[in-house]
Structure 1
Amino acid sequence: MAEMDNTVEAMMKKANELKGEGNAFYKEKKYQKALGKYTKIFLYINHLALPQDLKQMVGNRAPDTGNVKPEDVKKLQIIANQNCAMCALRQLKFDKSVDFSERALKIDPEAPKARMIRGRARLRLGNLEGARSDLLFAQKHFPKSDPIKSDLSELKKKFKKVRDKQRQQYAGMFDRKPKKQVVEKNKKSTKDISNLVSEMVGEQSHTSASTDKEIKSLISEMVGGDKVDK
Structure 2
Amino acid sequence: MEAAGGDESMDVQEPSVSGHRRTSAKPVWTSLEEAVQMKTEGNAFYKEKKIRSAIGRYHRALLVLRGLDSDVMASVKGFGPEIPALTPEQEASLRSTQVDCYNNLAACLLQKPSVDYSRVRDYSLRVLKWRPGDVKALYRAGVATLEMGDALTAKQYLTQASREQPNDANVRRNLQRAEEKLSRDLQKERAMYRGMFPSGVKSSAEEGMNQTHRASGEALAGQLNAPNEASN
Q: Structure 2-normalised TM-score?
A: 0.62
**Structure 1 residue runs without a partner (length 5+):** 177-230
Aligned to 1:131: 154
Give the counterpart of 1:42 among 50, 62, 68.
62
Find out whether 1:160 has 2:183 as its counterpart: yes
CA distance in 2, matches of 1:47, 1:5: 10
Find out whether 1:151 has 2:171 as its counterpart: no
Structure 1 residue 33, shift from structure 2 partner: 2.0
Q: Deviations over 1:167-205 (max 9, x none)?
A: 3223333578xxxxxxxxxxxxxxxxxxxxxxxxxxxxx
Cα RMSD over matched residues? 2.9
Find out whether 1:30 has 2:46 as its counterpart: no
Counterparts of residues 96-111 of structure 1 (less than 5 Å):
96-111=119-134
Greater helix percent: which structure?
Answer: 1
Aligned to 1:198: none
Counterparts of residues 59-208 of structure 1 (less than 5 Å):
61-63=82-84, 68-91=89-112, 92-174=115-197
Higher relative contact order (CA 8 A, sep 6+): 2
CA distance in 2, matches of 1:87, 1:142: 21
CA distance in 2, matches of 1:97, 1:37: 17
Structure 1 residue 5, shift from structure 2 partner: 9.1
Identity %: 29
Find out whether 1:13 has 2:33 as its counterpart: yes
What is the identity, as a one-letter code, of the residue corresponding to 2:110? Answer: L
What is the identity, as a one-letter code, of the residue corresponding to 1:140? Answer: R
Contact 1:46-1:77 within 8 A present in 2 as well? no
Contact 1:25-1:34 within 8 A present in 2 as well? yes
Larger Rg: 1
Q: Deviations over 1:6-52 (max 9, x none)?
A: 2222222221221122112222333222111111111222222337x
Aligned to 1:204: none
Contact 2:142-2:157 within 8 A present in 1 as well? yes
- The SS at the match of 2:139 is helix
- The SS at the match of 2:70 is coil
Contact 1:7-1:64 within 8 A present in 2 as well? no
How has the CA–CA distance of structure 1 residues 15 and 162 changed in structure 2, closer, same or farther, with 3 Å as cutoff?
Answer: same
Q: Select between 6-15 and 70-79 the one with higher mean Cα deviation.
A: 6-15
Aligned to 2:21: none
Contact 2:29-2:90 within 8 A present in 1 as well? no
What is the identity, as a one-letter code, of the residue corresponding to 1:86? Answer: A
Q: Structure 1-normalised TM-score?
A: 0.62
Contact 1:9-1:65 within 8 A present in 2 as well? no
CA distance in 2, matches of 1:79, 1:142: 19
CA distance in 2, matches of 1:136, 1:146: 13
